[in-house]
Copies of this chain bind each other. A is one copy, B any other.
Amino acid sequence: MRPLIISFILFLLFFNSSGQSRKIIRIPDIPGYITLKCDFHMHTIFSDGTVWPTVRVEEAWREGLDGISITDHIEYRPHSKDVEADHNRSFDIAEPLAKSLNVLLIKGAEITRNMPPGHFNALFIRNANLLDREDVFDALREARDQGAFITWNHPGWKAQQPDTTLWWNEHTRLLNNNMLHGIEVFNYNEFYPEAIDWARDKKLTILANTDIHEPIGMDYNVAGEHRPMTLVFSKSRTEGGIREALFSRRTVAYFNNTLVGRAGLMEPLFFASLQITPSPGLLRNGETRKIELLNRSDVDYELELVQPGVGFDATSSLVVKAHRVTVIELSGNSDEVSSMSELKVFYRVKNMMLNSNDNLVVTLTIPNV
């Protein structure tokens, strides 16, 4: 009988502690900026979600997020028979726990209309109740006037854009009136490649959010899986830092091991993730050298050789797995190689997208002495 009791006691030790611990999302900072992991779109029972607002904060803390926004629908509140409160209530309930856990909680709401123009989040608002307006443009103008950062949500959602994913005149009007600043390229489990190109052409900030309604573990529960999140490259870990970064378009969308953003942010992110160690020595014709890539991030980088180097071949395709060392082999194939002072290898990063057609291409430069 003894061992049973003992086993149970040991178990409890682990059980209890697991309740109080926080995952670490290992996406590195880049030069000049802190990389904040954020989810700016989620619901509670105060609109059509199924959890109390504190759950969103607790989930964020446990999963290692830095910042979130609860964005309950203004216009859609199916639990109103049992739940009665104004539009600021979910924020007010969540705020004390967010402060205590040091999760940055950004006050938000979702303006929820038919297409066009569809659904919009207003982030950094002061009073959600004032967004409850008959006309959608009035609501968005109010948000803008409160200083909100406004995002077009799930622009390719089949329920609103069943056949093609269109940019409507209404969106141009919003853009021209400073009432549209960002766009989701990932929402829940969906992906909108068109939105990447719009973001590039119209200078919108790219976002990836969950739009979660259920407890988070119900929808993202496969081992190794992570929920969609917006990587925000911020000058500080503060609400103000996030706001400045969003308005400056310093974000990368991250979901399902895929990163979407501008080369100016993704290239430093790639190199900050890796420690690159070439084996010493001169590469000669007929010989091989190794490059060790130690990946300190949670991302598996999928590389494909763009073109062979001058005088040597290199591993043509590889996955640089998270938290492992992966090896690239260079093999000299002409005498010319030994006379070069450095070797340049060009890889396409297949899970880093610049737009709907192009991937980031990185250059590994190896001294050859």
Contact in complex: A4, B79 (CB < 8 Å) = no
A215 surroundings in chain B (CB, below 8 A):
51, 55, 215-218
Cα–Cα distance between A277 and B326 once the two chains are bound (Å): 33
A294 at the interface (CB under 8 A from B): yes
Closest chain B CB from A252 CB (angstroms)? 15
Closest chain B CB from A83 CB (angstroms)? 6
Cα–Cα distance between A353 and B10 once the two chains are bound (Å): 18
Contact in complex: A4, B353 (CB < 8 Å) = yes
Give residues 232-272 of A contacting B (CB, 8 Å): 256, 258
Contact in complex: B214, A217 (CB < 8 Å) = no
Cα–Cα distance between A26 and B217 once the two chains are bound (Å): 22
A169 at the interface (CB under 8 A from B): no
Contacts A82-B85, A218-B58 given; indicate if A326 touches B21 (C-beta within 8 A): yes
Cα–Cα distance between A13 and B102 once the two chains are bound (Å): 36
Give residues 101-135 of A contacting B (CB, 8 Å): 102
Q: Which of B50, B52, B189 contacts A16 (CB 8 A)?
A: B189
A351 at the interface (CB under 8 A from B): yes
Contact in complex: A20, B82 (CB < 8 Å) = no
Contacts A1-B358, A50-B52 given; indicate if A325 touches B8 (C-beta within 8 A): no
Q: Which of B4, B102, B350 contacts A3 (CB 8 A)?
A: B350
A344 at the interface (CB under 8 A from B): no
A62 surroundings in chain B (CB, below 8 A):
218
Contact in complex: B4, A55 (CB < 8 Å) = no
Contact in complex: A21, B321 (CB < 8 Å) = yes
A281 at the interface (CB under 8 A from B): no
Contacts A51-B52, A85-B82 given; indicate if A4 touches B326 (C-beta within 8 A): no
Contacts A1-B357, A350-B3 given; indicate if A79 touches B52 (C-beta within 8 A): yes
A32 surroundings in chain B (CB, below 8 A):
none
A51 surroundings in chain B (CB, below 8 A):
50-52, 55, 215
A162 at the interface (CB under 8 A from B): no
A164 at the interface (CB under 8 A from B): no
A356 surroundings in chain B (CB, below 8 A):
1
Q: Which of B4, B17, B216, B325 contacts A318 (CB 8 A)?
A: B17
Contact in complex: B223, A217 (CB < 8 Å) = no
Flag A9-53 by CB within 8 Å of B: 1 or 0 each: 011111111111111100000000000000000000110011110
A216 surroundings in chain B (CB, below 8 A):
215, 217
The 3 A-B residue pairs with the shortest CB-CB distance, nearest first, are A217-B217, A215-B215, A22-B325
- 10 residue pairs A–B, Cβ–Cβ below 8 Å: A7-B258, A8-B256, A12-B189, A15-B189, A17-B318, A17-B326, A22-B326, A22-B327, A55-B214, A58-B218
